[in-house]
Structure 1
Amino acid sequence: MTYLSRVRINPLRAAGRNLLANPRALHGAVLAGIPDTAPGDRILWRLDADHPRRPVLLVLTPSKPDWTHIVEQAGWPDAEGEHYAIRDYSPLLAQLAIGREFAFRLKASPVQNTSTPDKANPNRTKTAAELHHRSYRMPHRTAAQQLTWLLDRTTRWGFTIPEARTDSPAPGLEPSSSDTTADTQPAREVRITDRNRSTFTKPGTRTPVTLTTATFEGHLRITDPGLLQAALLGGIGPSKAYGCGLLTLAPLPSGHR
């Protein structure tokens, strides 16, 4: 059974600020809440900090977790109210059907594989695959590139994004002149609500890890329930250990129905 959790984090406590600022530390806190994991289990999480005073951690787990340690160390352990909530994910998965529409949110790390990067990081350590194939995994850094990355891949994840009701994309999201889809891609029901670039180090190494992310929100229409379920449970794109890849669905606002 799969569970989706919502955990409140206190940004005024030192431990809370550390979790909010360090994806590696938050990843460790997530793993500490899951008592049993099996080989191949996928754990997805995302930090939603739309309101800086009420950040929320979302976690998708294949077994029932316990978030008491986060509440005690980085929450409001003695306050009233619900500190975390854990819900069975099965009812949502049962609603997946061709043609159904949902609002969605996704924090992802849009990347491209290239053998001729414009700006290769001299401190970056190549993976074994890159050494063999002489290619780099480079982040998309502009909003237009990140949006194109998403739109080019939705069918492989089992959904499409309907055409937008607005006349044109929001400022900064117009396709670039070098984009081959610039003349054919209509505006879609999706927008980037947050873009971020963070740097941190892994334990035992001084080589910095740079994470470039984009948070997408919009409206999707299901084309293949099986593919969408795989994307929901397995995540989308790279950097899943650092809070990327969790796609969440919600009912559409009444004006979209």
Structure 2
Amino acid sequence: MTYLSRIRINPLRQQSRELLSNPQTMHSHVCAAIPATPDTERLLWRLDTDNPQRPHLIALTRSKPDWTHLVEAAGWPAADDGGHCDIADYTPLLAQLAIGREFTFRLTANPVQNMPRPLRNGDTAGAEDPKTRQRRSSVRTGHRTYAHQLNWLLKRTAGYGFQIPDARTDPGLSILPLDESTPAPDVRIIHRDRVSFNKKNRRQVVLHVATFQGRLQVTDTDLLARALLNGVGPAKAYGCGLLTLAPSRRPNG
């Protein structure tokens, strides 16, 4: 079974500020919510900060989680209204997937590309196995512009089992190289950020992150279910890759 959780974070608490600024620290707290070891199941999470005063952690786990530690450390454990965290069975949503059905979606991702790595002194091209040479001769770099990040997603939708329909109204995507006869896709980037932090080995990690929001249409239920459960793109341990759906407000057809 799979569970989708939504936890309220209090941004004014000291530990909350560390969690909100360091994806590695947040990842460790997400891992602590499940009884299984992190290497036995895929964990996906992201931060939704539409309201900076009420950020939420969204997490997808295969095991049923216990978020008590996170609520006590970074939430509102003494609040009277409850609602500190919501945990829902993910199975009903997966059962709704059908070819042609539309959903609204949100995805925080780390759009990247592989760039040639300059040869250093002493390197000899062509002296290694081709696959090894390819790994050593390229480096993964993040897309930094709105247009490149958006195109990164649009080029990959088929592989994730969906397509993005034309926008019903102009979403203001004139930044894309579309001619006047080509309708704009119904997706936009609602947040972009450069995230930098140090790992335990003191190596600095820099991520260029984009949050996409829009409308999708299912083209392959198996591929989409796999994307929902396993994530989209790299940096999944650091709050990227979680694709979430909600029923489209407008009926199909």
Q: CA 1:30–1:134 in 2, change beyond 3 Å: closer, same or farther?
A: same
Q: How does 1:53-132 map to 2 (within 5 A)?
A: 53-80=53-80, 81-115=82-116, 132=135
| Percent identity between the two aligned chains | 57
Q: Any conservation in 1 of the 2:31–2:38 contact (CA below 8 Å)?
A: no
User: Do residues 233 (structure 1) and 229 (structure 2) align?
Assistant: yes
With 78-87 and 193-202 compared, the bigger mean Cα shift is at 78-87
Q: Any conservation in 2 of the 1:130–1:136 contact (CA below 8 Å)?
A: no
Corresponding position of 1:153: 156
User: Do residues 209 (structure 1) and 236 (structure 2) align?
Assistant: no
Kindly provide the CA deviation profile for residues 53-101 of structure 1, in whole angstroms up to 9, marking residues without a partner as x: 1100000001101000011111111112111111000000000010010
The whole-number CA distance in structure 2 between the counterparts of 1:9 and 1:149 is: 30
Segments of 5+ residues of structure 2 without an aligned counterpart are 119-130
Cα distance, 1:147 vs structure 2: 0.5
Question: What amino acid does structure 1 have at the position aligned with 2:194?
Answer: R
The whole-number CA distance in structure 2 between the counterparts of 1:234 and 1:174 is: 29
Corresponding position of 1:123: none
The whole-number CA distance in structure 1 between the counterparts of 2:167 and 2:117 is: 35
Question: What amino acid does structure 1 have at the position aligned with 2:85?
Answer: Y
Corresponding position of 2:51: 51
Q: Any conservation in 1 of the 2:173–2:184 contact (CA below 8 Å)?
A: no
The count of aligned residue pairs is: 239
Cα distance, 1:170 vs structure 2: 3.1
Q: How does 1:22-33 map to 2 (within 5 A)?
A: 22-33=22-33
The whole-number CA distance in structure 2 between the counterparts of 1:75 and 1:38 is: 23
Greater gyration radius: 2
The whole-number CA distance in structure 2 between the counterparts of 1:211 and 1:71 is: 27
Q: Please give the TM-score of this superposition, normalised by the length of structure 1.
A: 0.87
Cα distance, 1:185 vs structure 2: 6.1
Cα distance, 1:198 vs structure 2: 1.3
Q: Please give the TM-score of this superposition, normalised by the length of structure 2.
A: 0.88
Instruction: Name which of 190, 193, 203 aligns with 1:193.
Output: 190
Q: Secondary structure at the match of 1:72?
A: helix
RMSD: 2.2
Corresponding position of 1:250: 246
Corresponding position of 2:126: none
Q: CA 1:247–1:73 in 2, change beyond 3 Å: closer, same or farther?
A: same
Q: Secondary structure at the match of 1:30?
A: helix
User: Do residues 219 (structure 1) and 222 (structure 2) align?
Assistant: no
Q: CA 1:32–1:221 in 2, change beyond 3 Å: closer, same or farther?
A: same
Q: CA 1:231–1:168 in 2, change beyond 3 Å: closer, same or farther?
A: closer
Question: What amino acid does structure 2 have at the position aligned with 1:219?
Answer: R
Q: Any conservation in 1 of the 2:117–2:136 contact (CA below 8 Å)?
A: no
The whole-number CA distance in structure 2 between the counterparts of 1:247 and 1:141 is: 21
Kindly provide the CA deviation profile for residues 170-192 of structure 1, in whole angstroms up to 9, marking residues without a partner as x: 35x323xxxxxx55964100000
The whole-number CA distance in structure 1 between the counterparts of 2:199 and 2:143 is: 22
The whole-number CA distance in structure 2 between the counterparts of 1:129 and 1:232 is: 31
Cα distance, 1:220 vs structure 2: 0.2
Question: What amino acid does structure 2 have at the position aligned with 1:212?
Answer: H
Cα distance, 1:42 vs structure 2: 0.7
Q: CA 1:188–1:201 in 2, change beyond 3 Å: closer, same or farther?
A: same
Corresponding position of 2:176: 174
Segments of 5+ residues of structure 1 without an aligned counterpart are 118-127, 176-181
The whole-number CA distance in structure 2 between the counterparts of 1:74 and 1:140 is: 32
Question: What amino acid does structure 1 have at the position aligned with 2:242?
Answer: L
